[in-house]
Every structure is written in C-alpha cells, then in structure tokens.
Amino acid sequence: MSLIGKNIVIGVCGSIAAYKIATLVRLLTKEGAKVKVLMTHEATHFITPLTLSTLSNNPVFVDYFDEKTGEWNNHVHIGLEADILLFAPLTANTLGKLANGLCDNLLTAVYLSAKCPVFYAPAMDLDMWKHPSTIRNISSLNSYGNIMIPPGEGELASGLIGEGRLAEPAEILSHLTSFFENGDALKGKTALVTAGPTHEAIDPVRFIGNHSSGKMGYAIAQRLKELGATVTLISGPTALEHPQGVDTIAVTSAQEMFEKTEACFEQSDIIVMSAAVADYTPQTVADQKIKKKEDTFSIDMKKTIDILATLGKRKRDNQVLIGFALETNNELENAKAKLVKKNLDFIVLNSMQDIGAGFAKDTNKITIITQNGKEQVFALKSKMEVAKDICQIIVEHLAKS
C-alpha cells in the first residue's frame, strides 16, 4: 500500500466543506498514513480540532504556540517532515495568500517552509471560483509546481449549481495514492523538455516571435520531475517561474535553443519538444534601431534549423522523442506527416479550432498520435492535467520497451 508510513499534513481552511475532512483523515489513517492536521481559526467554527485530533491520533495545531504552556509549534519542522502537504478545503482567502506569499498564520508559514509536493483542493462558491482573481491565483499556484485536485460540480452552499464543491474524500485519496504509486515511475531517467517561444532579432529593440507562453512545457517538466526523472528545461523567453527542482536553461533565439538542446540530447532518455520555435529568422540583424522612413518595409529571411527533425535523425531506439503540432487546418493529416517525417514516437496535436486550446491559455485540448497511427483524444483540461496525461503515455511506453 503506497501510503503506509507517509507523513501527510492537511491544512484545513474555513469552509463549510471542512466537515468532509473527518472522512478524509479516517481514510488516510486506514491506508497507513501518518496524518497531522493544521487549521485556521475560521476552520474551527466548522469542525472541531478535537474531532480531527481523535481521528488522526495527533494533536491539531491552530496557532504558532500554545498560550497556556508557551510551547512552540515549529512550522519549519512541520513543513520539512511532511511527505505531502495538502490544503483541503482551500478557501479563496488562503488561496490568495499562498499565491502571493503572504504569511500571517501557522498554515501559510508551513507552506512557505515545505520542501515536499503540495496538493490543494479548492472549495468555494461558483462566482468566487470563476472570478478573475481566483483564476490568476490558481495559475500562480500551478506555476510554482503545486498540484490541484479540481473541485467538483453540483449544488453549492449558496444554492447555486456549478463548479466549486470540494472533491470527495475518496477522490482526494485516489490522487494521493496515485502520486505515491507513480512517484518513482521515471526514477533513473533523464528528461529534456523545450518550452516557450523563440525571439529572432531584427535590430537591437525588435524581434520576430509568437504568442507561446511556455505553460505547457513548464507543466510537463514539473510532472516529469514529480515522477522521479532528472529534468532539464530549455526555455525561450517567458514570464513563468522556473519549476521547482528542474534545471532550467534560458535561451532567446532558435539557434541558441538548438545548441543547448543538442548539448543535452545524447544523455537524455526522454525528449519532449514543446517549444514553439521560429521557422525563419532575419538574414541579417541591424546594428542600430531601424527608423520608420518608408511606407513599406521588408526583411530577408532564412530558415532556422529544424531542431526536431535533426534530433529525430539521431534518435536511438532507447530514447523517447515527442513533438508537438499546433495546426489550423487539416490537423490530423499534418500531424501524422510530421510524426513520420521527424521520426517521433508520439506527436501531441493542438488545434487552434478548439476553444480553450492554444497559446497563452491555462487549458489545452490535445490528441496524442503514436507511430502505429493510434489516436487518443483528450477532453479540455488544465495544462497541469494535460501534462499528467502526456507523462502517463511516456511511463506506459517505457514500461513496454
């Protein structure tokens, strides 16, 4: 059983959904986990510390110290000793604190001290869940490498129907069990991921680029790390935080991305090429800013090196090479042709026709196509969830080879 002996710290926030944590604690302890519960003051109005202490067989901590005894609850030790830190239910208030590094209670202090994987299960009303600030905070938490257990849909405390319900305890248990079961699935493997756009200089202040945010590649790199791989991420210009525990190399141009990728290719077992690399670059780069003089202006362009095709020719049988195809028409035909031409094991197809997919979004909708022509279509999901799907395909492929 994957949870036996695991130290799981649960942070309970002030939501009506806190009552579900009694069942979750019971499920975790029955699986052999060692559970420690932390609560905000607001959470104690919904479920008592005594209930959770009884079920977990451990004291429940609310404050930094006990006012009666003066005993200090060491947030650093709590964070460092945890194998998993789980926020459930995570309210909009604490979500905002975690996303912005605010630290005004024991729970947020433990979060900032923790070195372990962090899961969070949001719970809030529909309008709060859909608010732009919540969406931004979720994006920030995910970019830090935290793992969301998505809320369910149904009747909410307000009477509204929709997203925002805390995931059921059995579902949360399944997420944690799956994490530990697959935690070493790629142990000993070396992975190389490319992400983001490239910028091709025109002059000292201008460049040719695209709208890639790098979110998909960063999510894949983080998930490969979670699965035990040693990961190198080669990233074009993005505004994203580097994934925790991933060796990140910043590049700007297509040529720089090729040089860094080529240098890491031979020692890599898994290569995921998700970067949106420019197909063309200016023939010459002006030394000074080009002044606006003429009504029309043209730039002589030359092809950039095809990084994916170059690596495909060098790929060994024991390497897994995955490419991406972002298409606007004839999607499947173009993706399948690219798969064969570039000697890929898989290709991940994104269609610009799919609402919610494409550049700069937090969601994606993909189809994965294998060398034998098998197509696997996935629903629209967060990019963190899409990364899990892609990495699961990698794990299954390696297990068969």
Written in H, E and C, the secondary structure of 250-285 is ECCCHHHHHHHHHHHHCCCCEEEECCECCCEEECCC
Is 1 a residue whose pLDDT tops 60?
A: no
Q: Computed from CA positions of residues 163, 168, 171, 175, in that sequence, does the dihedral angle turn out positive or negative?
A: positive
Instruction: Give dist(CA 254, CA 281) in Å, integer.
Output: 8
Active site residue 210: yes
What mean pLDDT, rounded, does the chain reach? Answer: 89
Instruction: Give dist(CA 15, CA 20) in Å, integer.
Output: 10
pLDDT score recorded for residue 71: 72
Instruction: Give dist(CA 115, CA 102) in Å, integer.
Output: 17
Is 356 a residue whose pLDDT tops 70?
A: no
Name the CATH superfamily, with its identifier, for domain 190-400: CoaB-like (3.40.50.10300)
Instruction: Give dist(CA 372, CA 368) in Å, integer.
Output: 12
Q: Where do the DSSP E strands lie in 103-246?
A: 118-122, 147-148, 152-155, 161-165, 190-195, 200-201, 207-208, 230-235
Is 401 a residue whose pLDDT tops 80?
A: no
Give, rounded to a whole angstrom, the gap between the first and last alpha carbons of the chain: 26
> In this structure, are residues 197 and 155 in contact, taking their beta carbons and an 8 Å threshold?
no
Alpha-carbon separation of residue 207 from 32, 253, 326 (angstroms): 56, 10, 21
pLDDT band at 330 (very low <50, low <70, confident <90, very high): confident
pLDDT score recorded for residue 147: 87
pLDDT band at 133 (very low <50, low <70, confident <90, very high): very high
pLDDT score recorded for residue 288: 93
Tens digits of residue pLDDT in 32-43 = 999 999 999 999
Say what the alpha-carbon torsion angle 127, 366, 149, 392 is, to the nearest 10 degrees.
180
pLDDT band at 159 (very low <50, low <70, confident <90, very high): confident
pLDDT score recorded for residue 338: 93
Q: Is the pTM for the entire model greater than 0.75?
A: no
pLDDT score recorded for residue 226: 83
Q: Where do the DSSP E strands lie in 25-93?
A: 34-39, 84-90
Mean pLDDT of 26-37: 95
Is 362 a residue whose pLDDT tops 60?
A: yes
Mean pLDDT of 40-56: 96
pLDDT band at 69 (very low <50, low <70, confident <90, very high): low
Q: Bridge partners of 301?
A: 282
Q: Which of these, 272, 216, 260, 269, lies nearest to 234 by C-alpha position?
A: 260
Q: Which of these, 132, 134, 131, 127, lies nearest to 158 by C-alpha position?
A: 127
The domain defined by 7-182 folds into Rossmann fold (3.40.50)
Ranking 44-48, 91-95, 122-126, 326-330 by mean pLDDT, the lowest is 326-330
pLDDT band at 263 (very low <50, low <70, confident <90, very high): very high
The answer to whether the 7-182 and 190-400 domains have the same CATH topology is yes
Ranking 1-5, 14-18, 290-294, 311-315 by mean pLDDT, the lowest is 1-5
pLDDT score recorded for residue 58: 94
Stronger pLDDT, 283 or 155, i.e. the higher one? 283
Residue 161 sits at φ, ψ, to 5 deg, of: -115, 125
Alpha-carbon separation of residue 354 from 338, 346, 361 (angstroms): 20, 20, 12
Mean pLDDT of 145-161: 78
Is 165 a residue whose pLDDT tops 90?
A: no
pLDDT score recorded for residue 355: 66
> In this structure, are residues 63 and 49 in contact, taking their beta carbons and an 8 Å threshold?
no
Contacts of 159 (CB under 8 A, 6+ apart): none
pLDDT score recorded for residue 74: 74
Stronger pLDDT, 371 or 280, i.e. the higher one? 280
Instruction: Give dist(CA 21, CA 200) in Å, integer.
Output: 52
Quote the distance between the C-alpha of residue 245 and its chain's center. 13
Mean pLDDT of 70-90: 84
Is 378 a residue whose pLDDT tops 70?
A: yes
List the catalytic residue out of 7, 210, 334, 343: 210
pLDDT score recorded for residue 318: 92
Is 254 a residue whose pLDDT tops 90?
A: yes
Stronger pLDDT, 270 or 243, i.e. the higher one? 270
pLDDT score recorded for residue 277: 96
Is 370 a residue whose pLDDT tops 70?
A: yes
Is 104 a residue whose pLDDT tops 80?
A: yes
Is 218 a residue whose pLDDT tops 90?
A: yes
Domain boundaries, the chain: 7-182, 190-400
Is 116 a residue whose pLDDT tops 80?
A: yes
Helices 215-226 and 383-400, packing angle to 10 deg: 50
Is 357 a residue whose pLDDT tops 90?
A: no
pLDDT score recorded for residue 63: 86
Is 358 a residue whose pLDDT tops 70?
A: no
Instruction: Give dist(CA 73, CA 9) in Å, integer.
Output: 14
